[in-house]
Chains A and B, each alone.
Chain A
């Protein structure tokens, strides 16, 4: 399968080319008050409004330096779409389905949760994103019981 790779801090991520609609340079975001850090803003893309999902925040990595601007990887699966914020874009690579392994056991939390597997890429592990799950991320600072009221 063909995979688009991008860098998020020290992590090399990849998304299947079929669900990557396009990659954009940094775009101005409209902040969403009260949203979790993982969804820092909204993005206007040709008449559609997309939620930006910051992968650094999703993976619990330290925030980007204020000087560096993230790139937008527009991911679409079915009716659902979002813009993933990554540090910089990598390349388009072929990954043999046989070469995909389950994530290493020492990966816990979000890295495990949002990957559908890993594969060895020369000297680095390539984390294959589970697009469906990452698009399903829900944003709210509130604890659930706070909202029922």
Chain B
């Protein structure tokens, strides 16, 4: 029993040591002769050898002994570190790891004697033996080492004194000398802790609720402290699930090295951001796709040295691996400077394989054509190697990434290289979700599928059309199928029958876009995803469930599953064909501005969204901070290169003699988008739109017989000008003030700050009675009430009556715990969420279902 434990410890320790060795050897190839690294490798083998002898694993002991001899000579400078030696040590390492695996599985060494390897090691030692006393040196070495042992296990003997170290950069050895401040914890324990913290949060919420209404200030202080501690605890426990991406990267240098030598290429791997942390379950799920992408880059992307030299590049190809945080996502990029993906070849291949018709292939833009690599059974490798190119791969990569809520993007320039960008959520355990109601039940929609929220009222409902395929919504120039959640889940009478479709969430999953009709949209929240029992696994339209603040359970909708259940894809096609057939009712006639920009030759934007077209002499453009401005109508107009925003080029268009600019305006605020050239203004119908995943674009469609890309102006502006949305609120400053009914001083102050930030003057009233009285006097645009109220007396009814008679909307702000606000109040906005509050207000006086301005883009 005890033996078992010792062996277990030995395995864990050895595996840890040896996984470091691999990296160290690769580092050594960069800095041969680095004494510290050599010392560290030596010690790792030495430790394994020592323990093997103790545990009676004779064969492992022999192998590690020989390797140790070799390393001792390297360390003592008696032998040069050559690639041959490196390969030999790596081979030894593999063998040792293989044996450790055997021990783990069977408790004993494998039957393989590894005579080949031993022979190689012996030959290496004998052949290049240092001149003096050959045989003696081999024999003596271990004895000497053993004597040295105490100092050898004290690695920091001479940290600064690596006289032979080339660059003095000793990152690797440094990390190995410090005592590891971490402990190993069973992940199940962590998961249980997370569960318990979730429970604690619920209890906290209940305490806070009773604390607020209880009134005693002492209780309040305690509740407040509990609140703070719980929040911090929750964050801490959540963080304990995080791991740096470096943990899955450390196998990759070896992979690149082996691939390179196998393909006779010279490849340099550059990594950046290995410390970026993310949930370990996601990390695991991303490992294989990432390996595959990297392998693809080495195999298909990078050329052999002669080809590279002929193309005027350096013989050594570079693959860079980057990771960084972007919002609540982690982005991983694999970029090579290889030959790039040739869209023409992909089109040809797609036609040849029968994936696309020739016409459809030609209609694809270059940018879309390269996405063909994600098509199942698509491999363009001229020869199939044993590294990649078996035709399974990129489609599986994409599927795997999508299954964890991520996306894959592809950018490529022929001759210059390819960049694969993976976006993945930080954690699967907590996702941002939209809390909605339908049929008196609460559901959660994962934000990652949400494109836009629409609120339909009055004449805006004409955007909804009934066809034999079901309801369709005219949205952003296309028709999307509408699904009523009430109907889909057979909850209660559906909204189309009632004729009061009000809330629509535009959702996207697996390439299908549709609108989901909901009774009520409540709030966005970070929710903890809990799996459903296996009894429900066939109900693919549920992704899980979550526990809301009040302890009740809400089902999380699986948007892709719901779309499949409602057969959205086929309905989408049907509506598109109806379009081409020219049935009239659902065609969308509009004027479009056509222009070229970067790698896009035919981009379009609805003319109605364009303010003016201007041409400025290049000399008029001035550099200000990190952007370009031009004097325009007595003000400074900021000009950005659209190609750069779209990621399809640089700022070339600003270097022309005359800069062609599309001016977009909203209120006082304007911005100029510089493009390469204007093509035309055409009136036409949007036919056969297909959504595109390229950033900044909405869809590819056919305009007057030509494939055309439709610009997503809203998202472009968001990227081009992060504060674009702000002045829109500012413009409201002259309106009537907004009345705030908040019983806590803190809430009152923060609400007023938010409103004023959004450009709304605000007036605060403490109690319900005061609020109602102020309303009587009128002169307010809207009322914002802190919910729940401690004194839910009759004034609420009065408030309702006043709101109805005056038409002044009433909004509620507060935690979605406990009693929900009455139905007649608009939404429950989470507290301390300035953006949501302003958006909610915005929505209420700005019902614009078709414009992207009301969008909640995620």
Contact = CB atoms under 8 A, between A and B. Distances in A.
A119 interface: no
B538 interface: yes
Given A49-B547, A49-B553, A139 B530 contact: no
Interface stretch (B130-138, B193-201, B607-615): B193-201
Contacts of A46: 195, 199
Interface in A97-133: none
Given A33-B490, A137-B535, A47 B196 contact: yes
Interface in B172-207: 195-196, 198-199
B547 A138 contact: no
Interface string A1-41: 00000000000000000000000000010111111000100
A30 B533 contact: no
B198 A47 contact: yes
Contacts of B564: 149
Contacts of A33: 439, 441, 489-491, 555
Contacts of A32: 536, 539, 542, 555
Contacts of B552: 28, 30, 44
A42 B535 contact: no
A48 B195 contact: yes
Contacts of A35: 536, 539
B80 to A, nearest CB: 55
A30 B490 contact: no
Interface string B542-563: 1001010001111100000000
Contacts of A34: 489-490, 539, 541
Contact of B536 (A44, A47, A51): A51
A138 B441 contact: no
A139 B553 contact: no
A42 B535 CA distance: 11
Which one of A32, A138, A147 has the highest number of Cβ atoms from chain B below 10 Å of its Cβ?
Answer: A32
B226 interface: no
A65 B534 CA distance: 28
A138 B532 contact: no
A139 B539 CA distance: 7
A136 interface: yes
B537 interface: yes
A48 B198 CA distance: 10
A138 B534 CA distance: 7
Nearest to A144: B538
A30 B198 contact: no
B490 A39 contact: no
Which one of B535, B540, B542 has the highest number of Cβ atoms from chain A below 10 Å of its Cβ?
Answer: B535
A81 B538 contact: no
A9 B552 CA distance: 29
Contacts of B439: 33
B773 interface: no
A138 B554 contact: no
A38 B489 CA distance: 17
A44 B546 CA distance: 9
Nearest to A41: B553
A147 B564 CA distance: 9
B533 A82 contact: yes
A138 B533 contact: no
Contacts of B531: 49
Contact of B555 (A30, A53, A135): A30
A66 interface: no
B567 interface: yes
A80 interface: yes
Interface residues of B, number: 31
A14 B429 CA distance: 36
A35 B545 CA distance: 14
Nearest to B552: A30
A136 B545 CA distance: 19
A80 B533 contact: yes
Contacts of A51: 532-533, 535-536
A7 B491 CA distance: 31
Contacts of B535: 39, 51, 53, 82, 135-139
Contact of A49 (B196, B530, B540): B530
A80 B534 contact: yes
Contacts of A138: 534-538
Contacts of A142: 538
Which one of A30, A80, A137, A138 has the highest number of Cβ atoms from chain B below 10 Å of its Cβ?
Answer: A30
Given A35-B539, A139-B538, A44 B551 contact: yes
A112 B545 CA distance: 32
Contacts of A80: 533-534
A95 interface: no
B534 A136 contact: yes
B539 A140 contact: yes
Contacts of B534: 80, 135-136, 138
Interface in A68-85: 80-82
B562 to A, nearest CB: 11
A145 to B, nearest CB: 13
Given A80-B534, A139-B535, A147 B540 contact: yes
Which one of B195, B491, B539 has the highest number of Cβ atoms from chain A below 10 Å of its Cβ?
Answer: B539
A30 B538 contact: no
A51 B535 CA distance: 7
Interface string B5-49: 000000000000000000000000000000000000000000000
A67 to B, nearest CB: 22
Contacts of B490: 33-34
Nearest to B537: A138
Contacts of A53: 535
Which one of A39, A42, A140 has the highest number of Cβ atoms from chain B below 10 Å of its Cβ?
Answer: A42
Nearest to B196: A47
Which one of B537, B541, B553 has the highest number of Cβ atoms from chain A below 10 Å of its Cβ?
Answer: B553
B174 to A, nearest CB: 41
A24 B441 CA distance: 24
A47 B199 contact: yes
Contact of B530 (A48, A82, A137, A149): A48
Nearest to A148: B564
A138 B491 CA distance: 21
B485 to A, nearest CB: 9
Contacts of B547: 44, 47, 49
Contacts of A28: 552
Given A35-B539, A42-B553, A149-B567, A49 B491 contact: no
Interface in B548-607: 551-555, 564, 567
B152 to A, nearest CB: 46
A47 to B, nearest CB: 4
A135 B554 CA distance: 22
A32 B556 CA distance: 11
Contacts of B538: 138-140, 142, 147
Interface string B466-499: 0000000000000000000000011100000000
Contacts of B539: 32, 34-35, 139-140
Nearest to A31: B441
A42 B567 contact: no
B491 A139 contact: no
Interface string B725-739: 000000000000000
28 contacts: A30-B441, A30-B552, A33-B439, A33-B441, A33-B489, A34-B539, A35-B536, A42-B532, A42-B553, A44-B547, A44-B551, A44-B553, A46-B195, A46-B199, A47-B196, A48-B530, A49-B530, A49-B533, A49-B553, A50-B533, A53-B535, A82-B533, A135-B535, A138-B535, A138-B536, A139-B536, A139-B539, A142-B538
Closest 8 CB pairs of A and B: A33-B489, A51-B533, A47-B195, A30-B553, A140-B538, A51-B535, A49-B530, A49-B545
Given A42-B532, A136-B535, 18 more contacts: A30-B553, A32-B539, A33-B441, A34-B489, A39-B536, A42-B545, A44-B551, A46-B195, A47-B547, A48-B530, A50-B533, A51-B535, A82-B533, A135-B534, A138-B534, A139-B535, A142-B538, A149-B564
Interface of A: 28, 30-35, 39, 42-44, 46-51, 53, 80-82, 135-140, 142, 147, 149
